[in-house]
Structure 1
Amino acid sequence: MNMKLIDWPTFIGALVLLLAVTVPLVLFPEAGKEFVNQANTFMTGTFGVLYIVMGLIVFAFLIFVAFSKNGLIKLGDEGEKPEFGTFSWAAMLFAAGIGSSILYWAVIEWAYYYQGPPYGLTPESMEAIRWATAYGIFHWGPIAWAIYTLPALPIAYFYYVRKKPVLKVSEAVRPVLGKLVDGPLGNLIDVLFMFGLLGGAGTTLALGAPMIAEGISDLTGLEATLGLQAGIMLVCTLIFAISSYSGLRRGIKVLSDINIWLALFLLAFIFLFGPTRFLAETTVNSVGVILDNFFRMATWMEPFGNLAQFKETRFPESWTIFYWAWWLVYAPFVGLFVARISRGRTIRQMILGTMIYGTIGCILFFGIMGNFGLYLQLTGQFDVVGFMNANGAPATIIEVINQLPLAKFMVLVFTVLAIIFLATTFDSSSYILASVVQKEIKGEPLRWNRLFWAFALSIMPLVLMFLGGLDTLQTASIVGGFPLIFIMFLLAWSFIKASNTDIRASDDYEPPTIHIKRWKKRNKKKRRSALEVFEEKNREDNE
């Protein structure tokens, strides 16, 4: 064990913060839950507009970068081929960014919008149906993947272009904060990121474990108790611990490939043996609704909702703002992971690939699995809404799958897929957590470090699950992740500042015509390569 490589202030700080939140929840669950919920209501109600604005700005910024000169920068050496093929690359980023949550919400999210539609529409009306099929895709669409992608820009740039052997969020904001990132401020940034990820992991487990338990219960007849959920979590922990220990190529890549093929089989089966025409037409219609109303959906708030003459739905706070906050909490992790697997690609390929492949994957899940459930509801074959209100979402999801041909076999496929999805998210998480608490990465994080975080990711949620506090941990992580809004803007600023500096220092830089005289005046001497500029800057920093 090479303990000298560990960044102990960050390592210990993350554990201390997590314990500081979870121990009071264990000792005072009801009071803790009430406090966290009030904090969440205050934050989303008071600062919700910041999340809405952040989502739009991040989306526009990434489109700009992708088609600018900065987007042509290669993440690696000139002529270097991508480390992973496109299929494996897309599979890993999708599995890491989405996890088993997609199986949960894709099947059932429409039912919540159907009963509580946006814009003050009548529940269960035709207009409610139209928006119910579109809003799930919107919340898991381009803006969500843009929030995920932004942190990958500076992190990948410093790791592969400037050859900094560090995978840290704090390192990615060095161009703006300078040497401040070497002190407590840098540690705080990394600790906040880790706390958000650990809380986000609790969310994934809170959704995934009961759903998997219901699947196993349906197949075996066992009751879906907390004990069964705990056993599922331990099995998943073992799977992703082995995968994370095996490393990126032998573990995470293989598991992600299996995961994506199984997902494609499930989607193809439902599409071919379900109401094919309805699924196709409804999905295309939903995409059209989003394209027609993208900015309306992305900016809708309820500024008049607190006035007596207007009906307040709290839809933006309950869904759009909540989702943007959720993506934000996960964003540094997914960004770190996307950065790590994108060697050999250009900035443009990384941005467009992540946003396009991620969005297409979510469209397929919501369009096929969600609209299959809606079809059952509208035709009267199965009362999804009534069953969900009586038995809860996890049991309803399994019952929807039971309406397919070869029902028990498809429930088995669905359950296995949920387990693998959960494992792929967690092995990616443990890999990145281990990377963040190391001072430098030589190849891959230390194995014992990866293994430690694999088990740390599940132990706290396991304890809280028995105490009914997983939802509270999820909410606490979203509240605690509020400062990440400002860190996101720092990341964008850092990338632009660093990449523009290096582009101007390179020999093939072509300045804008309107600035060419001023540029020539400043650059009378022979200009240096970007690498020489990096080396000089590093010497100055060391001195």
Structure 2
Amino acid sequence: MNNQRIDWPTFIGAFILLIAVTVPLVLFPEAGKEFVSMANTFLTTNFGVFYLAMGLIVFAFLMYVAFSKNGHVKLGEEGQKPEFNSFSWAAMLFAAGIGSSILYWSVIEWVYYYQGPPFGIEAESNEAIQWATAYGIFHWGPIAWAIYTLPALPIAYFYYVRKKPVLKVSEAVRPVLGQWVDGPIGKLIDVLFIFGLLGGAGTTLALGTPMIAEGVHHLTGIPVTLGMQAVIMLICTVIFAISAYSGLQKGIKLLSDVNLWLALFILAFILIFGPTRFIIETTFNAVGILLDNFFKMATWVEPFGNLAGFNETGFPEGWTVFYWAWWLVYAPFVGLFVARISRGRTIREMIIGTMVYGTLGCVLFFGIMGNFGLHLQLTGQFDAIGYMDANGPAATIIAVIGQLPLPNLMIFLFTVLAIIFLATTFDSSSFILASVVQKEVGDEPFRWNRLFWAFTLCIMPLVLMFLGGLDTLQTASIVGGFPLIFIMFLLAWSFMRASNRDITASDDYESPTIHIKRWKKKKKKSALEVLKEKDPDKKND
């Protein structure tokens, strides 16, 4: 029976936690918002250094694993080719990990850094411009993708090497926690993951839907209302529900491929018909600033506050700590999805590929779209800052795209891309949520299960959107995701313990897959056969 393969305690537990958080926000929106905001400020202010340290440690750990003996391990059978070609693989992991948020922030994030720069730099100065071009790439760069990649290691290892038919975060820490994962602790780990993903998904919708609505408004003249945004959200839900229902090969892969080709076309159009030289040189310069100041940016926490004449900006807590917390909430989901699509690749290929493809994609978006908007501002062709103050971020994004040649066509394509990006994030999310609440997963979770989570992902943000509580839910998910810092270290420890044990037990670094197969075969031998192997003289007895 299908129902017997559903992990009902996790399924129901996730719903109870979601209702426990959502209902108070619905009944007492102002008080709930204030409480969640205070909790978030407390965490980011007092524990911000833990988030930053976690990011650096995870990055260093993955670099070590990639080039160690553990990195040679094949995720699957020896000689097995990757399930997806590199283009489709990169498209799926990028679409799942970034979504429509990249379209939102890549166009306007520089505005915030330009007006509120780091390191006590004067706002809107020449130095502020330099940092404004680099900080977006940093926040969406190697550390972000390292945080995403870490959970993929133990999950992929157990699923493809040890052949455990389970895609759960709790199962991935079994080598450390042992039988504890079969009890309340394991359920709590999975429930926290689901809650974080639902909150993160709600915020992705909160960013993407108004942007799509502004695009529709520009093209049709229909005013932006909550009703229009609700219709857009439902249309996106139907798209990603169909994709999730169709499965990895026919749905998610196809939609991700279309998504990446359309994104590349828009980026190429802006690069060719926009200020080409300015975009290339500014992006190149920004990458240089990032490489030269990587560790400074990754460890800056303003320890002196306002003491001794120092000017406390709140930048680390407001941006870097917040982003690391945000990637952390999404990390188990992206890790689960990356693990699922990485069959046939080595651990090294999965680590380096995810970090390189993910970072490169973000560099292209921030370098091309962000610097196009910056050029408009600096040359006086379009006052993006003034327009955003008057009309808000979503309208400004569409207005910036409207400065391109063939503005209506480009806004149409940009809006379609935003819809597809939103859909590719959510079809991946519903696929993984369905996997987590099953005791066993074959090639794919049950279709009804995928459809259920596809619509669940929409209903809760839809209700909160009308109540104006999406921002509060985003903050609540980050507060609830704080324990994931410790789970990340458990995941790293679990992977090293399991893979080192298998590698040590194999001969001459023989593939752990072959070793595990041989070990399982031996377990099936009769006691007499084992005795004969140990003492050949008894084989004729």
Q: TM-score if structure 1 supplies the norm length?
A: 0.95
Q: Which residue of 2 aligns with 1:531?
A: 517
Matched, 1:36 2:44: no
1:277 aligns with 2:277: yes
Is 1:382 matched up with 2:382?
yes
SS in 1 for 2:376: helix
Q: 1:217 to 1:162 in 2, by over 3 A?
A: same
What do the CA deviations read for 1:147-166 (whole angstroms, capped 9, x no partner)?
A: 00000000000000000000
Aligned to 1:215: 215
CA distance in 2, matches of 1:509, 1:473: 48
Amino acid across the alignment from 2:414? F
| Amino acid corresponding to residue 237 of structure 1 in structure 2 | T
Per-residue CA distance 1:451-480 (angstroms, 9 max, x = gap): 000000010000000000000000000000
> Paired residue for 1:264?
264
Q: Deviations over 1:198-248 (max 9, x none)?
A: 000011011000000000000000111111110000000000000000001
Matching residue of 2:497 = 497
Q: Which segments of 5 or more consecutive residues in structure 2 lack a partner in the other structure?
A: 526-541
CA contact (8 A) 1:162 1:534 kept: no
- Mapped to 1, the partners of 2:306 and 2:323 lie a distance apart of 22
1:535 CA displacement: 7.1
Amino acid at match of 1:153: L
Tell me what 2:228 maps to: 228
1:530, 1:408 → 2: CA distance? 58
Question: Following the alignment from structure 2 to structure 1, what is the Cα–Cα distance between the partners of residues 245 and 336?
Answer: 18
Contact 2:81/2:345 (8 A) holds in 1: yes
Q: How far 1:508 sits from its partner (Å)?
A: 1.8
CA distance in 1, matches of 2:265, 2:125: 33
Partners of 2:225 and 2:317 lie apart in 1 by: 32
Counterpart-to-counterpart distance in 2, 1:494 and 1:150: 11
1:535/1:476 CA distance change after superposition, 3 Å: farther
| Cα separation, 2, equivalents of 1:509 and 1:338 | 25
Q: Distance in 2 between matches of 1:14 and 1:197?
A: 11
Equivalents in 1 of 2:161, 2:480: separation in Å? 32
Question: SS in structure 1 opposite 2:250?
Answer: helix
In the TM superposition, what is the alpha-carbon distance from 1:509 to its structure 2 partner?
Answer: 3.2
* 1:305 shift after superposition: 1.1
The offset of 1:532, in angstroms, is 4.3
1:193 positional shift: 0.4
- The equivalent residue for 2:482 is 482
**8 A Cα contact 2:244 2:451, kept in partner:** yes
Counterpart code for 2:498: A
Which residue number corresponds to residue 131 of structure 2?
A: 131
After TM superposition, give the deviation of residue 306 of structure 1 in Å: 4.1
- Work out whether residues 154 and 494 of structure 2, in 8 Å CA contact, stay in contact via their aligned partners in 1: yes
Aligned to 1:513: none
Kindly provide the amino acid, as one letter, of the partner of residue 37 in structure 2: N
- Whether 2:147 is the aligned partner of 1:151: answer no
Counterpart for residue 82 of structure 1: 82
Is contact 1:505–1:533 with CA below 8 Å preserved after alignment? no
Q: Does 1:7 align with 2:7?
A: yes
> Are 1:109 and 2:109 an aligned pair?
yes
What one-letter code is carried by the residue in structure 2 that aligns with 1:414? Answer: F
Residues 538 and 156 of structure 1: is their aligned pair in 2 closer, same or farther, counting only changes over 3 Å? farther
- What is the match of residue 46 of structure 1? 46
Q: Which amino acid aligns with 1:529?
A: H
Matches within 5 A, 1:103-502: 103-307=103-307, 309-502=309-502
Identical pairs, percent: 79
**1:172 touches 1:494 (CA, 8 Å); kept in 2?**
yes
Distance 2:172 2:303 in 1: 36
Distance 2:128 2:519 in 1: 58
> One-letter code of the match for 2:346?
T
Taking the aligned partners of 1:25 and 1:390, their CA distance within structure 2 comes to: 29
Amino acid at match of 2:516: A
Rounded Cα–Cα distance in structure 2 between residues aligned with 1:406 and 1:537 = 68
Q: How many residue pairs align between the two structures?
A: 522
Separation of aligned partners in 1, 2:424 and 2:78: 31
Q: Distance in 2 between matches of 1:262 and 1:537?
A: 52
Q: For 2:112 and 2:522, how far apart are their aligned partners in 1?
A: 57
1:536 Cα deviation after fit: 7.8
Q: Closer, same or farther in 2 for the Cα pair 1:422/1:536, shift >3 Å?
A: farther
| Post-superposition CA distance 1:348-383 (Å, at most 9, x none) | 000000000000000000000000000000000000
1:507 and 2:507 aligned? yes
Q: Which string of whole-angstrom CA distances, capped at 9 and with x for unpartnered residues, describes residues 260-280 of structure 1?
A: 000000000000000000000
Q: For residues 38 and 202 of structure 1, do their structure 2 counterparts lie closer, same or farther at Cα, with a shift above 3 Å needed? A: same
Deviation per CA, 1:22-69, whole angstroms, max 9, x where unpaired?
010000000000000000000000100000000000000000000000
Matched residue of 2:508: which SS? coil
Structure 1 residue runs without a partner (length 5+): 511-527
Seen in structure 2, the aligned counterparts of structure 1 residues 137 and 535 have a Cα distance that, compared at 3 Å, is farther
Q: Distance in 2 between matches of 1:152 and 1:538?
A: 31
String of CA shifts for 1:265-313, please: whole Å, max 9, x gaps. 0000000000000000000000000000000000011111143732110
Distance 1:70 1:228, change over 3 A: same
Residues 505 and 530, structure 1, Cα contact 8 Å, conserved in 2: no
What is the alpha-carbon distance in structure 2 between the residues aligned to residue 529 and residue 421 of structure 1?
41
- Partner of 1:529, secondary structure, is helix
How has the CA–CA distance of structure 1 residues 535 and 197 changed in structure 2, closer, same or farther, with 3 Å as cutoff? farther
Q: Secondary structure at the match of 1:508?
A: helix
* AA in 1 matched with 2:25: L
Q: Is the 8 A contact 1:503 1:530 kept in 2?
A: no
Instruction: Name the aligned partner's letter for residue 295 of structure 1.
Output: F
Q: Contact 2:306–2:312 at 8 Å: present in 1 too?
A: yes
**1:442: Cα distance to partner?**
1.6
SS in 1 for 2:509: coil
| SS class of match (2:309) | coil
CA distance in 2, matches of 1:314, 1:232: 35
* 1:319-363 residue CA offsets vs partner (Å, 9 max, x unmatched): 000000000000000000000000000000000000000000000
2:184 alignment partner AA: P
* Displacement after TM superposition at 1:531 (Å): 3.1
* Contact map agreement 2:162 2:516 (CA 8 A) in 1: no
Compared CA separation, residues 490 and 536, structure 1 to 2 (3 A):
farther
1:483 and 1:306 mapped to 2: Cα distance? 30
> Which amino acid in 2 is paired with 1:422?
L
- Match for residue 521 of structure 1? none
